[in-house]
Amino acid sequence: MASEQGRAKREAVGVFKSADTLQEAIDELLVSGFDYPALSLMASEKAVEEKLGHKYRKVQELEDEASVPRIEYIAPESLGEAEGALVGGLLYIGAGVAAVLASAGSLATIITAGAIGGGVGASIGSVLARLVGDHHARYFQEQLDHGGLLLWVATSDEEHEKRATQILKKHSGLDVHLHAVPLR
C-alpha cells in the first residue's frame, strides 16, 4: 500500500460577511450531500493566535494556511438543545435536591421546596445558557471584526469540488477557491 505522506486532500474555502449567509451555505451543503465532518470553521481568535504565535489582521490571510486551528461545525439546533438541557437539567436537579431535603416535612413543604429549588436551578441554568449563547456570538463577532467567517469544505472528487464552490458563491461567499491541504 502506498504511503499517504506527501499527498494532499482538496477543499473549498470561502469567507462570509454574516452568520446568516454562512448558515445558508452550510444548510445547502448539508442538503446537497456533504456531511458535518466535511465542514470546518476557524477556531477562536485566541486559539489561532496561540497556534500561529502571532496576531492576524484579516481572516483572508488564513484561508490557505494549513496550520490554522479549526473547529467542526455545530448546528444552531445543537446549541439550542445544549441551552435547553442546562436550564431543564438544573431545574430538575434543584427541585429534586430540595424535595429530598424537605422530605421529612409535610407534602406542602416538599412541593414548596421542590418549586423553590427548581426555580433556583432553572435560574442558574438560564445564566449558563446565556453564557453559551454569548460565547457563540462573541466567536462570530471576533471573526467578523477581522473580515468575515471562514468556512472550509472537504471535497472527495471534482464533482464535490464544483458543487461546493458553486454553493459557497451562491450564498455570497467571497474569495471562494479550492486549495490543497496536506494529509496529516
Domain edges within the chain: 8-75+145-182, 79-131
Q: In the 3-class helix/strand/coil scheme, how is the chain assigned residue by residue? A: CCCCCCCEEEEEEEEECCHHHHHHHHHHHHHCCCCHHHEEEECCHHHHHHHHCCCCCCHHHHCCCCCCCEEECCCHHHHHHHHHHHHHHHHHHHHHHHHHHCCCCCHHHHHHHHHHHHHHHHHHHHHHHHHHHHHHHHHHHHHHHCCCEEEEEEECCHHHHHHHHHHHHHCCCEEEEEEEEECC
* pLDDT at residue 7, rounded to an integer: 65
Question: At residue 86, what is the residue type?
Answer: L
* pLDDT at residue 101, rounded to an integer: 44
C-alpha closest to that of 168 among 14, 10, 62? 14
* pLDDT at residue 151, rounded to an integer: 94
CA dist., res. 69 & res. 150, Å (int): 12
Distances (CA, A) of 55 to 46, 52, 67: 9, 8, 14
* Residue-level pLDDT, tens digit, the chain, 184 residues: 344 445 678 999 999 999 889 999 999 999 999 998 999 998 888 888 898 888 888 988 899 988 898 888 776 544 444 444 444 443 444 444 444 444 454 444 444 444 444 444 444 444 434 444 454 567 778 888 889 999 999 999 999 999 999 999 999 999 999 999 887 6
C-alpha closest to that of 96 among 64, 70, 118, 65? 118
30 close to 38: Cβ distance less than 8 angstroms: no
CATH class of the 8-75+145-182 domain in this structure: alpha beta
* pLDDT at residue 184, rounded to an integer: 61
30 close to 184: Cβ distance less than 8 angstroms: no
CA dist., res. 23 & res. 168, Å (int): 11
* pLDDT at residue 137, rounded to an integer: 66
What is the reported pTM? 0.64
